[in-house]
Amino acid sequence: MSPIILNWQQIHPLLKEINVFEPMKQGFIKYSQGLSEIPPVGELIMDDPPGDVHIKYGYIKGGEYYVVKIASGFSGNKELGIKPGQGMMLLFNLSTGQTEAILIDDANLTDIRTGVAGAIISQELACKDVKDALIVGTGVQARYQAKFLCDLMPIEKLHIWGRDTDKANNAKNDLSDLDVELIVTSDLSSSVEESRLILTTTSSKEPIIQSNWIQPGTHITAVGSDTLEKCELDYRILANADIIVADSIEQNLLRGEIHQAIKHDAIKKSQLIEMGQLFDKTKTGRTADSEITVADLTGVAIQDLVIAEAVLKASLDQELN
């Protein structure tokens, strides 16, 4: 049987049939319980033109498929009229190795699964009465974090900050269908000081949020820092945090905000909690509204497996109907 081959134009209409919030939680739980095989991330870094390629792969024990995901980011593509994110997800039969699906998604599914992960951990750790959030960044991931956050939480007001005000206004326009008040802010320090839910989505290699801006009761979901070099948060933020959550402890020791804090001897591995441990209640999350919590998301192949399986199922269901 030939594999299903779908490009992004064919995948996009299927998304309205997909809800992966709960399957994503279950994927993280299985990962933290040791019920999956997720090897270290493969990575290529290019300097001229600048770009990075991530290869992630793995499977859930007892599952139907294994996944291989290739996703790249080339910032110079914008000048060429090409989407910066490129790539595909490949699904193989776990019993036979046969190719089941080739999803040429231009890295859009990676963006979506990251947005879903950010939303579910923000819902888990933020103060329950929070009604407004700050999105730091103006790219595709900023849009997905905003969208999925509003799907899960009773957000009434979203502040958007970016280095480029025009890009921030473009993001605001693109999010105008959300039933929230959208505000573009130019003062990052004041916005951080006033926010209790912050989502960072930039590719910065220098801290853009300082520790003295963070107030008691703040939760930060950081998704931009997914390599050795990237860093959005002052490492002292993690040093001062009551709870630090990783999507993958072993992976976060090598990349992301946790890696930066470990490198500065600001935190210890023993302080870290995995997302799956929160979702299956083997570890405790926020216990007081005054606590500072940080979730560092570097992206785990279990997320790619969950979203790719959901797309394949939606495609097969569509064929049957």
- For residue 69, give the CATH number of its domain: 3.30.1780.10
Q: What is the pLDDT of residue 91?
A: 98
182 inside domain: yes
How many distinct structural domains can be found in the chain? Answer: 2
Amino acid at 294: V
Concatenating the DSSP letter of every residue in 256-307 gives HHHHHHHHTTSS-GGGEEEHHHHHTTSS----STT--EEEE----HHHHHHH
User: Encoding tokens for residue 9?
Assistant: 């134009």
Question: How far is the first Cα of the chain from the last one, in angstroms, to the nearest whole number?
Answer: 20
Q: Does residue 83 lie in a domain region? A: yes
Report pLDDT digits (tens) over 2-58: 899 999 999 999 999 899 999 999 999 999 999 999 999 999 999 889 898 999 999
Q: Are 127 and 97 in contact (CB under 8 A)?
A: no
Residue 114 falls within a domain, yes or no? no
Asked if 249 and 219 count as a contact pair (C-beta separation under 8 A), the reply is no
pLDDT of residue 85: 86
> From residue 82, how far is each of 86, 108, 129 by CA, in Å?
9, 13, 41
- Answer yes or no: do 70 and 171 share one domain: no
- In this structure, is residue 95 part of a structural domain? yes
State the pLDDT at residue 318: 86
Q: List the chain residues with pLDDT less than 70.
A: none
- Pick the closest to residue 188 from 230, 134, 240 (CA basis): 134
Within-domain flag for 86: yes
**Judgement on whether residues 138 and 226 belong to the same structural domain of the protein:** yes
One domain, residues 308 and 293: no
Say yes or no: 215 and 258 in one domain.
yes
The pLDDT of residue 263: 95
pLDDT of residue 73: 87
pLDDT at position 226, please? 78
Amino acid type, 279 = F
Range of the domain at 101: 4-109+302-320
Specify whether 45 is located in the same domain as 105: yes
Does the pTM surpass 0.75? The reply is yes
Are residues 137 and 161 located together in one domain of the fold? yes
For 64, phi then psi, to 5°, come to -100, -25
